[in-house]
Amino acid sequence: MATDSPDTAATFGELHIPSVPVAAIVLSRALRALMAAGAVFFAGALGAAPDPTPATPPPSVVIPAGTYVPLQRTARDLAAVPVAAFRLAVTPVTNAEFLAFVRAQPKWQRSRVAPLFADASYLEHWAGDLELGPRAPADAPVVHVSWFAARAYAAWVGGRLPTTAEWELAASAGYTRPDGQNDEALNRALYAWLARPVPAVLPAVTSVRPDFHGARGLHGLVWEWVDDFNTALVTGESRADSGLERDLFCGSGAVGAKETTDYAAFMRSALRSSLRARNTTSSLGFRCAQDL
């Protein structure tokens, strides 16, 4: 729960997330959205415009059409968001796959990427620009990648990043049924993963059990970028601003949530809210999606 103190903080992977007043957060969020849009615009001017698509799309599964119920919403928001059927990569992008990308697109190599598009820890676990090394097994999910880099890779293979609604719809499946809310085996595996620290060397993307649709690692491997991560709710504490949505703050946000016991969903929402597009961490990767 938020408090009046500006010193409270939370940690997700390598991201240390300080609490700040809501007015500052709302302004920061607006500025960040404008900066992201500006960065995409300047990417073309800097030679980082979408490239031709020489790569083959990764193996994927079809996620049937469904409905995403947002974790938190206001009275003005849709109670349920319809999601059209789409294709989702079976696994997150691996180090080997991302290595092929930076070989083909040198501007995304560690020593050459523009600071506008990735922070200082971009691909820091690799041994070099074109060398994986012992900390980055070829078949493990690539991490330390920014949203900009993830989007560029997805475009390179002829895909895109999934939206929050698409990712959450896909991730709602259990191991043996389309609705995994009461899948005890999935919940045990998920919460065991959340309780463990990030390992120094991540396991192979095929090391986790496939879900009902055939996708692997939506839970229990790494956090994943979504295309619209910066639409995630960011709130703090500001009793002086009458224009803010009171039902989204502090304990009221949890009271209005669709499922107050879904701790993992709250963690995903908080993580997305904390991110900037150039951020990279040791626990954040991505996978690709495609329209049908």
CATH T-level topology, domain 9-291:
paralog of FGE (formylglycine-generating enzyme) (3.90.1580)
52-66: average pLDDT: 84
Q: How far apart are CA 219 and CA 287, in angstroms?
A: 13
Residues in contact with 120: Cβ distance below 8 Å, sequence separation at least 6, in sequence order: none
pLDDT of residue 37: 47
**145-195 pLDDT, tens digit each:** 999 999 999 999 999 999 999 999 999 998 988 887 778 888 788 778 777
pLDDT of residue 275: 85
Provide, rounded to the nearest whole percent, the portion of the chain with pLDDT above 90.
Answer: 48
- Does residue 24 or residue 273 have the better pLDDT? 273
Q: How confident is the model at residue 14 (pLDDT cuts 50, 70, 90)?
A: very low
Q: How confident is the model at residue 35 (pLDDT cuts 50, 70, 90)?
A: very low
Helices 184-195 and 263-274: crossing angle, nearest 10°?
40
pLDDT of residue 292: 94
Q: How far apart are CA 10 and CA 12, in angstroms?
A: 7
**233-288 pLDDT, tens digit each:** 444 433 344 443 334 333 333 334 455 456 567 677 777 777 899 999 999 999 99
pLDDT of residue 6: 37
Lowest-pLDDT choice from 5-9, 38-42, 214-218: 5-9
Q: How far apart are CA 101 and CA 129, in angstroms?
A: 12
Assess contact for 291 and 162: CB atoms under 8 A. no
Closest residue by Cα to residue 205 from 15, 58, 55, 12: 58
The ranges assigned to domains in the chain are 9-291
75-88: average pLDDT: 86
**101-132 pLDDT, tens digit each:** 999 999 999 999 999 999 999 999 999 999 99
What integer best gives the mean pLDDT of the chain? Answer: 77
Q: How confident is the model at residue 89 (pLDDT cuts 50, 70, 90)?
A: very high
Q: Which residue has the tokens 């639409």?
A: 231
Please report the sign of the dihedral spanned by the C-alpha atoms of residue 128, residue 130, residue 94, residue 43.
Answer: positive
